[in-house]
Amino acid sequence: MSKGRIWPQESVGHVDPRSGRRVRQITSHASIHHHSFFFVPALDRAGKRLIFISHRTGTPQIFFEDRASGALVQTTDRPDIAEWSLHPSADGRFVYFVAGTGAWRLDLATLAEEQLADFGAVEMREKGMVGAAMGTTALSAGGRYWAVPVKAGKVSRFMLIDTQTKACKVFLERDTIGHPQFCPDDDDLILYAGPLTDRVWVTDRSGGKNRRLYQREDKMQWITHEVWLPGRKAVAFVDWPRGTRLLHLDGTVEWITHFPAWHAAPDDKGARFVCDSNFPDRGLHIYDMAGAPDAKGRFLCASEASSEGAHWAGPFPYNDGPVAVKARQHTHPHPRFAPDGHSVIFTSDRTGYAQIYEVTLDQPG
């Protein structure tokens, strides 16, 4: 059993030659590593642990970096973890994840695993590598509610788990449910992705107020990578490759930037975004929420990730239904601000294996 094994610090550093910023490679083992996702926190609010997935034992397992010592701690040892399902709690006590057809909670102090729900004989996720097939889940800001999409036959069930009482119920059913996210300012609002041609939806915890938040302007408009903007009860989404837009709950839309962001995540104050880029890869950039839409993003560092997904180089490909794409998600940077706003976590396979990196935002050098 490797659960509880402590691996020595693996981090190595370098200075990005263009920006002069310090970049730390956190993992170095010759295997796949990645943090949670661009809209899922990688660190607890206090910044004590960095949560990530490592394949170093042969299967995806949940690890954390102890930020004080740099040691890497293996917290699970099981064959069935859905590696994109993990969601750390903001208070640093737990990591929630899906394994097999069950919903689990991991206590980071004791490493005890507790099953909160059993979904039965279901497929859990759609086929593929993107959207609903990834199996991401959503935890409310206070940690009380956990929303998990479950594929069951021809429908997707939105399951709501009360993490205190362990009550579990279906609160919404529809054709597809992907990338769920609780509003950081309202535990009764959940953003999720519907079909790729009709993507941005919001619901309440009862499912009774489910509604489309945005409808495409034309059949070639590519809407993707939606995320809540903290402090605004508004949604930022990528209008690929034209830039990032802000969508208010009343349906009004405005441009944030015309910089061609790919995955764009706001900081905890909703003041600025960090993004990766593709076709071409311009590296990681930061841009301000209050900046002019025509302002250029500020270069942060190179990611040098392979960023699989040749379909991103062409027009919107999904109007006639799903298409097979090679887009392994651990090859994408998915940058995410640390809670204190002083660094950005990202993934890159620049060495031949996907590793976790951190770039500082303070004085370069």
What are the tens digits of pLDDT across the range 290-342? 999 999 899 999 999 999 999 999 999 999 988 899 999 999 999 999 999 99
Label each residue of 145-187 as H, E or C.
EEEEEEEECCEEEEEEEECCCCCEEEEEEECCCEEEEEECCEE
3-state helix, strand, coil in the chain (%, to 5): 5, 40, 55
Fold of 6-316+325-360: Methylamine Dehydrogenase; Chain H (2.130.10)
The residues spanned by each domain of the chain are 6-316+325-360
Given strand 168-174, what is the order of strands in its sheet? 138-139, 145-152, 155-162, 168-174
pLDDT at 1: 60
Which distant-in-sequence residues (6+ apart) come within 8 Å of 181 by Cβ? Answer: 39, 138, 190, 191, 192, 226, 227, 228
pLDDT at 166: 97
For residue 241, cis peptide bond before it (omega within 30 degrees of 0): yes
Q: Which of these, 2, 5, 23, lies nearest to 14 by C-alpha position?
A: 23
283: alpha, beta or left? (left if phi > 0; alpha if psi -120 to 50):
left
For residue 280, cis peptide bond before it (omega within 30 degrees of 0): yes
Yes or no: say if 245 and 235 are a contact pair by the CB < 8 Å rule: no
pLDDT at 87: 98
Residue 94 and residue 92: Cα distance in Å, rounded?
A: 6
Task: Tell me the per-residue pLDDT of 96-153, one tens digit each, with 9 for 90 and over.
Answer: 999 999 999 999 999 999 999 999 999 999 988 898 889 999 999 999 999 999 999 9
pLDDT at 133: 87
Classify 311 as helix, strand or coil. Answer: helix
Residue 365 has pLDDT above 50, yes or no: no
More confident residue, 364 or 301: 301
pLDDT band, very low/low/confident/very high, at 364 (cuts 50, 70, 90): low
Question: What secondary structure does DSSP assign to 70-85, as a single string?
Answer: --EEE----S-B-TT-
